[in-house]
Structures are given as C-alpha cells and as structure tokens.
Amino acid sequence: MAIQPKTATLPPGLLDRLRTALATVRSGRPAAGEQPAAIPPADQPMVTDEAPRADAPRAVIFVTVFGLSTAALEEVLEVVMREGKDTPVSPVFLTDSLDFKPFRERRLRFEYLPDGGRRHRFAPDLDWRTYERRRYRLLAAKWRPQSLISFGTPAPPDGAAAIRALTSGA
C-alpha cells in the first residue's frame, strides 16, 4: 500500500493552483528536426481515450522552489510529480538550494539561482537585478516554458516578467 505524502505544510489553495496550471498547459512542441504531429481538420475534433505516448512532446513548466527547507522541498517535489504524472507536462524546478540531492534522486530537471545572501557575499559589486533578468531570459529561451508556478518565495518580479514575455509569444 503506497503512502500518500502529506500536503498539510503547503499553503491553502496552492495545490489547486498547480492542478489548474497543469490542466491549462498545451502539449509540448516538437524538438528541433522532429516533424510536428499532423493537425486534425478543424471540423473533426480529435477524440481519444488513449493515454499520451511516453515519447510524446511534453510542455515545460517552471516550478520555483525558493526558500524551502529540505523537508518542504521534498514534499513539493512529490506533489508536483504525483499531480503531473498523467499530464503532458515536464517540470523544470528553479531552486536557490545548494542541496541538489532531492532533484537528482528523482531524476528531475532543475536550474540553480543563488539566493540574496550568497549573491552579495560572493559578488557584492555585481548588478544583481540585471543578472537576474538576463538569467531568467536565458532560462526561458533554453526551456521555453508555458507556465510558471511558485512554491515558497515567488520568483522576483523582473524574472517572472522576463519569463511571461517569452511565454506569451509561444
């Protein structure tokens, strides 16, 4: 008998927001060099009872997990994996944690962004707002996410705006 992870530490409504985000994401784009799937005529709606193919393109969503403890992070990872397993979605986690073990154990994609304390300790003279904007633009161009959902501390406004700007044209 599988034990479901507890979700009591998640803020109220966050699980519903995740489910809504997963439900609204379109299926993924074909990879470079891959032929797009045939589009059915508009007058014939595509109806299928089949589950999506395992090799079908999957839409990317960014999931921020900034400022979470290891226990809270592991809980969020389990919730996202469980809620997203039957959807055409591939989450990419954005983290400020130096503990990559929870992501690697689950074979999840992630990107590291340093938190405020580490930023100023190692490069106090760097223009961090510009760095952040550029880094988020690079990440959005690399992964081409269709959505952004935050657990813990939300993405900085400049970073979230950069992602939305690139995803709105998708």
- Where residue 113 falls among pLDDT bands split at 50, 70, 90? very high
Q: Which of 119, 158, 164 is nearest to 135 (CA)?
A: 158
- Residue with the bigger pLDDT between 11 and 130: it is 130
Whether residue 10 is predicted with pLDDT greater than 70 in this model: the reply is: no
Residue-level pLDDT at 93: 97
* Rounded to 5°, angle at Cα 37 from 32 and 43: 145
- Where residue 33 falls among pLDDT bands split at 50, 70, 90? very low
- Residue with the bigger pLDDT between 148 and 33: it is 148
Q: pLDDT, tens digit, for every residue of 76-88?
A: 999 999 988 888 8
Tell me the domain boundaries of the chain: 14-23+57-168
CB 60 within 8 A of CB 27: no
What length is written for the chain? Answer: 170
CA end-to-end distance (rounded Å), the chain: 42
Distances (CA, A) of 30 to 57, 95, 105, 108, 132: 6, 27, 27, 20, 29
Q: Which of 161, 156, 115, 109 is nearest to 137 (CA)?
A: 161
Q: Which DSSP state fits 92?
A: E
Whether residue 136 is predicted with pLDDT greater than 60 in this model: the reply is: yes
- Rounded to 5, what percent of the chain is helix, strand, coil? 40, 15, 45
Domain 14-23+57-168 has CATH 3.40.50.2000: yes
